[in-house]
């Protein structure tokens, strides 16, 4: 029995936030001091490092659970299944539903319960729950779905990654330009076909690394000190990812028995263009081989970093030939890999 992705769907918000829209922001250092550079220079340097030209923000009346619902509807339709036959709905996110212009996260009931409600699934044996695993949450949801199916506890699962990071960012922090909103969803089920998950790898580094991403105060010292925003130590994350993500991918690939020269596409969490390129370079150095042209699709230039949504959204775009110069065909070996808050790392080797 193999475990495959039988359907995909994504929701990309229509509101486009271009880099120029940040020219009027008041960017400050962590200690509240003024950054001695014009915003045009700050934004230009940001673009050079991250690759981001623009990002997407959800409309004011929509929350993470809404975005996840839209993506789930598409995945269900793509898989051509009856939603009543879904055994588990696993929703990866980090901040729950954060209503527009509010500061409080709402996770009661769970986002999975909300999405199941919106899908109008009556079956009480369809179990809905959330996972908090940082940006690698969607991959971890797929790993859990595979375990449920292999154990006989489920036949079919819906795994969703959804987030509205734009609502938890500090507008006085340059890092706020990284984050975006979006959702991606997949149907996971068993198959007799020669395809599916070949291997997976997961690790949590917490001894020194747990707080590389955290909730902290605004860089503006005059704002309420009880309000928290997403914060990160970018340099430490970069160094951590460069060392550990290639090793995790290599471990997963070696476990699968697949030669790296047979890999057609590598879908890496869209966190930072330079970081992803460096991870890819380090991976191929481990195998002492050249990087094939066009192996790593990127959506960060136009969509930004939507955390748990980046990989399922990117996969859905490539699968449906909606990303220029990228496609996948039956039998292709692909890799999913992510790193994020926790600090967590995971990877899946998959035969399409």
Write down the pTM of the prediction: 0.95
Strand-strand pairing, 88-92 and 127-131: parallel
- pLDDT for the residue 339: 97
- pLDDT for the residue 116: 98
d(CA 6, CA 78): 8
pLDDT in tens, 246-272: 999 999 999 999 999 999 999 999 999
Which residue's entry shows tokens 């039998």?
A: 331
Strand-strand pairing, 156-164 and 2-11: unpaired
d(CA 232, CA 168): 13
344 neighbors 136 (Cβ within 8 angstroms)? yes
| Residue 47: partners with Cβ closer than 8 Å, 6 or more residues away | 19, 53
% of the chain surpassing 70 pLDDT: 100
Same CATH topology for 2-192 and 198-351?
Answer: yes
Hey, what are 9's tokens?
């769907």
Residue-range domain boundaries for the chain: 2-192, 198-351
pLDDT at 120 over 90: yes
pLDDT in tens, 291-348: 999 999 999 999 999 999 999 999 999 999 999 899 999 999 999 999 999 999 999 9
pLDDT tier for residue 16 given thresholds of 50, 70 and 90: very high
Hey, what are 329's tokens?
């065909």
Specify whether domain 198-351 bears CATH 1.10.3720.10.
Answer: no
- pLDDT for the residue 225: 84
pLDDT tier for residue 218 given thresholds of 50, 70 and 90: very high
Which residue's entry shows tokens 């970093």?
A: 305
Hey, what are 44's tokens?
């230009």
Helix (H/G/I), strand (E/B), else coil: 297: coil
d(CA 182, CA 103): 19
**DSSP letter at 290?**
P
- pLDDT for the residue 226: 82
Cα end-to-end distance, the chain, whole Å: 15
- Could you tell me the sign of the dihedral formed by the alpha carbons of 309, 313, 315, 316, in that order? positive
d(CA 56, CA 285): 34
Tell me the average pLDDT across 95-118. 94
β-partners of residue 189 are: 4, 156
d(CA 264, CA 258): 11
pLDDT at 102 over 90: no
pLDDT tier for residue 222 given thresholds of 50, 70 and 90: confident
Mean pLDDT, the chain, whole residue set: 96
Hey, what are 211's tokens?
């707080």
Q: How many residues does the chain have?
A: 352
pLDDT in tens, 20-77: 999 989 999 998 898 988 999 999 999 999 999 999 999 999 999 999 999 999 999 9
d(CA 314, CA 304): 11
Strand-strand pairing, 156-164 and 263-268: unpaired
**DSSP letter at 12?**
-
- pLDDT for the residue 62: 98
Tell me the average pLDDT across 211-225. 91
d(CA 176, CA 196): 36
Distance, CA of 328 to chain centre: 20
Superfamily of domain 2-192: Thiolase/Chalcone synthase (3.40.47.10)
- pLDDT for the residue 224: 84
Q: Name which of 187, 163, 140 is nearest 66 in CA terms.
A: 163
């Amino acid at each position: 029995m193999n475990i495959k992705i039988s359907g995909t769907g994504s929701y990309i918000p229509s509101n486009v936030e271009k880099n120029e829209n940040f020219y009027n922001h008041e960017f400050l250092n962590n200690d509240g001091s003024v950054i001695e550079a014009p915003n045009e220079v700050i934004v230009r340097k940001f673009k050079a490092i991250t690759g981001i030209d623009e990002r997407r923000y959800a409309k004011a009346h929509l929350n993470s659970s809404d975005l996840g619902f839209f993506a789930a509807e598409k995945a269900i339709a793509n898989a051509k299944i009856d939603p009543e036959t879904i055994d588990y709905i696993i929703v990866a996110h980090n901040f729950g539903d954060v209503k527009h212009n509010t500061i409080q996260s709402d996770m009661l009931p769970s986002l999975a319960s909300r999405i199941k409600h919106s899908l109008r699934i009556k079956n009480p044996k369809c179990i809905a729950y959330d996972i908090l695993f940082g940006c690698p949450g969607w991959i971890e949801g797929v790993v859990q779905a595979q375990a449920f199916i292999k154990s006989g506890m489920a036949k079919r699962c819906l795994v969703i990654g959804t987030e509205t990071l734009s609502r938890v960012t500090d507008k006085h922090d340059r890092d706020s330009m990284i984050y975006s909103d979006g959702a991606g969803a997949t149907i996971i089920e068993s198959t007799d076909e020669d395809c599916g998950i070949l291997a997976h790898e997961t690790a949590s580094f917490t001894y020194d690394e747990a707080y590389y991403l955290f909730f902290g105060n605004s860089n503006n010292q005059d704002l309420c000190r009880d309000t928290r925003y997403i914060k990160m130590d970018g340099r430490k994350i970069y160094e951590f990812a460069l060392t550990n993500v290639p090793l995790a991918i290599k471990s997963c690939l070696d476990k699968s028995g697949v030669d790296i020269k047979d890999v057609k596409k590598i879908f890496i969490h869209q966190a930072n263009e330079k970081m992803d390129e460096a991870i890819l370079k380090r991976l191929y150095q481990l195998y002492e081989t050249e990087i094939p042209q066009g192996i790593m699709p990127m959506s960060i230039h136009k969509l930004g970093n939507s955390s748990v949504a980046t990989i399922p959204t990117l996969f859905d775009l490539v699968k449906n030939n909606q990303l220029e110069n990228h496609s996948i065909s039956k039998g292709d070996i692909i890799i999913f890999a992510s790193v994020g808050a926790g600090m967590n790392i995971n990877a899946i080797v998959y035969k399409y």
